[in-house]
């Protein structure tokens, strides 16, 4: 298929932090091996939705790049608060 | 309630969480039910179609009516329901961190914790998927059935499973046109009765087909679809352009496991039920014996099974807290399991039944 690469061809994976598929594949090719490592490398999954939209997409790209089965992908770590909480709320 | 006693905390007031809280309260156990939304009921209030199953499973009743019944019962019982309350953390020893109305943060000790956090709709990434007009099917369903807003006039539905065909039909009922339903697999995925209704209305279904891109200046104006080969790669020359303003993604759900991970519940991977999820035993107890998991978080199924799983956990937790004798607990859980088993029949149910049996077997091995 003709694969022209214009701005409209950019495939975003993490919408909150605006991380593209190309950036995630680059991170894996440079050595990232898990959702957590990709998170730290690219910020994918560190935005306001905390990876609820992109976690599965990142897992799929990892499986593809590393030729792993989906169940072999290490589960992302979660830390509290799992939702954004304003500092003001925590101040109480 | 004894004065210094820690309540059972139920997170999520959808069908599973409501039923768990109802069983606990009926047994006389202290219970607090928390939900992030302004209204309890979870996804029940957007289900305007009739449910399947037998009489005792509320078959033939529409989802929102089941929701109303459960709400009425929880009000009658006087359950402590805390709305607009997000549970954002859990500490072992069982402390729940909640944020009310986004402004008031507090912690509450739990005797038992029942996680009924549901599932999140999967995304699908393709060039243009961030354009306004691309949304999940559940989002479109909330817009039409809860807020009475039509998201667009011409729809492409991506995914032919139950969510895809049910929402496609409801979008038509709401006044939209459905340009096509596409399915990546070589066969359709939804219940025949829902699929047939959409097909009879003249909507084309394309199997082994995916979306290549969404196009449009400010929002979706077109979708490009193409056939795919056995390796799910697009076949050049098969592209078709559909004039649509809305693209709905109905490509599965993932259990919302975040809190169960914080509670250190052992996770397992069950592809038929949505991917990674906390393992559970025959009472819906996770590997953390104080934490139960019910409904979609314990494997994506349906509202009817979620309600029975909620009851199972509620009954067992009430017993574990000393509010039910052994024999009553055994009778009630056996009854509930019987109804669950009846719900997991038929071609769709059997697959889920087999997957659930695998989960129980894994727990025994662990």
Residue B286 neighbours by CB under 8 Å, 6+ apart: B115, B260, B263, B265, B266, B278, B279, B280, B292, B293
Segment B226-231 shows an average pLDDT of 96
CATH number of this structure's domain B8-120+253-365: 3.50.50.60
What ipTM was estimated for this complex? 0.90
CATH superfamily of A10-91: BFD-like [2Fe-2S]-binding domain (1.10.10.1100)
Q: Distance, in angstroms, between B327 CA and closest chain A CA? A: 39
With bands split at pLDDT 50, 70 and 90, how would you rate the model's confidence at A3? very low
Q: What is the pLDDT of residue A2?
A: 37
Q: Distance, in angstroms, between B89 CA and closest chain A CA? A: 5
Domain residue ranges of chain A, discontinuous segments joined by +: 10-91
Domain residue ranges of chain B, discontinuous segments joined by +: 8-120+253-365, 123-249
Lowest mean pLDDT among B107-116, B200-209, B286-295, B340-349: B340-349
> Which one of A54, A62, A80 makes the best mutation probe of the B interface by having the most chain B beta carbons within 10 Å?
A80
Encode pLDDT of A9-59 as tens digits: 679 999 999 999 999 999 999 999 999 999 999 999 999 999 999 999 999
Does B88 contact A1 at a Cβ distance shorter than 8 Å? Answer: no
Bridging pattern class, strands B240-242 and B119-121: unpaired
Of B297, B302, B311, residue with least CA distance to B345:
B302
CB within 8 Å of chain B, chain A residues 2-41: 8-13, 15, 21
Q: Distance, in angstroms, between B25 CA and closest chain A CA? A: 28
> Which one of A55, A74, A84, A87 makes the best mutation probe of the B interface by having the most chain B beta carbons within 10 Å?
A55
Pick one of 3.40.50.300, 3.50.50.60, 3.40.50.2300, 3.40.50.720 as the CATH number of B123-249. Answer: 3.50.50.60
Of B123, B124, B120, B121, residue with least CA distance to B211:
B124
Q: Do domains B8-120+253-365 and B123-249 have the same CATH topology?
A: yes
Q: Using CA atoms, how far apart are residues B283 and B320, in angstroms rounded to an integer?
A: 11
Q: What is the pLDDT of residue A1?
A: 34
Q: What is the pLDDT of residue B248?
A: 98
Q: What is the pLDDT of residue B347?
A: 74
Q: What is the pLDDT of residue B364?
A: 64
Q: What is the pLDDT of residue B103?
A: 93
Q: What is this structure's pTM? A: 0.94
Has residue B53 got a pLDDT over 90? no
Using an 8 Å Cβ cutoff, are B52 and B11 in contact? Answer: no
Encode pLDDT of A56-69 as tens digits: 999 999 999 999 99
Encode pLDDT of B253-311 as tens digits: 999 999 999 999 999 999 999 999 999 999 999 999 999 999 999 999 999 999 999 99
Encode pLDDT of B163-189 as tens digits: 999 999 999 999 999 999 999 999 999
For a pLDDT cut of 90, what percent of chain B falls above it?
85
Of A1 and B28, more confident: B28
Q: What is the pLDDT of residue B366?
A: 55
Q: What is the pLDDT of residue B54?
A: 59
Q: What is the pLDDT of residue B249?
A: 98
Cα Dmax for chain A: 58
């Amino acid at each position: 298929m003709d694969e022209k690469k214009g701005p409209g061809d950019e495939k975003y994976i993490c919408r909150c932090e605006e991380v593209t598929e190309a950036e995630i594949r680059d991170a894996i090719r440079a050595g990232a091996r898990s959702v957590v490592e990709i998170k730290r490398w690219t910020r994918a999954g560190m935005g306001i939705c905390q990876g609820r939209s992109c976690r599965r997409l990142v897992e799929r790209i990892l499986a593809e790049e590393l030729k792993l089965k989906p169940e072999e992908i290490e589960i992302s770590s979660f830390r509290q608060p799992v939702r954004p909480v304003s500092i003001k709320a925590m101040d109480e | 309630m004894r004065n210094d006693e820690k309540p059972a905390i139920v997170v999520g007031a959808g069908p599973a969480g409501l039923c768990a809280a109802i069983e606990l309260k009926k047994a006389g156990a202290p219970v607090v039910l928390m939900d992030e939304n302004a209204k309890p009921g979870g996804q029940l209030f957007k289900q305007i179609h009739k449910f399947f199953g037998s009489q005792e499973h509320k078959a033939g009743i529409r989802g929102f009516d089941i929701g109303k019944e459960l709400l009425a019962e929880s009000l009658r019982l006087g359950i402590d329901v805390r709305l607009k309350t997000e549970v954002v953390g859990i500490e072992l020893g069982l402390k729940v961190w909640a944020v009310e109305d986004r402004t008031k943060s507090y912690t509450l000790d739990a005797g038992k914790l029942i996680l009924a956090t549901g599932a999140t709709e999967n995304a699908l990434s393709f060039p243009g998927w961030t354009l306004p007009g691309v949304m999940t099917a559940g989002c479109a369903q909330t817009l039409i059935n809860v807020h009475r807003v039509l998201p667009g006039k011409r729809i492409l539905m991506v995914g032919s499973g139950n969510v895809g065909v049910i929402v496609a039909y409801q979008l038509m009922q709401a006044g939209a046109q459905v340009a096509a339903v596409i399915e990546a697999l070589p066969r359709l995925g939804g219940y025949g009765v829902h699929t047939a209704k959409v097909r009879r209305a003249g909507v084309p279904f394309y199997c082994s087909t995916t979306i290549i891109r969404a196009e449009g200046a400010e929002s979706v104006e077109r979708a490009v679809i193409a056939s795919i080969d056995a390796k799910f790669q697009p076949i050049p020359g098969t592209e078709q352009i559909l004039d649509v303003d809305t693209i709905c993604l109905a490509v599965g759900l993932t259990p919302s496991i975040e809190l169960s991970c914080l509670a250190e519940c052992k996770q397992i991977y069950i592809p038929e039920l949505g991917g990674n999820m906390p393992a559970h035993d025959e009472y819906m107890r996770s590997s953390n014996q104080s934490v139960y998991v019910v409904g979609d978080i314990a494997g994506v199924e349906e509202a009817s099974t979620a309600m029975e799983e909620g009851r199972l956990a509620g009954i067992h937790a009430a017993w574990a807290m000393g509010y039910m004798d052994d024999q009553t607990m055994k009778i009630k859980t056996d009854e509930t399991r019987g109804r669950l088993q009846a719900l997991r029949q038929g071609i769709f149910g059997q697959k889920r039944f087999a997957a659930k049996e695998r989960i129980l077997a894994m727990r025994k091995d662990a």
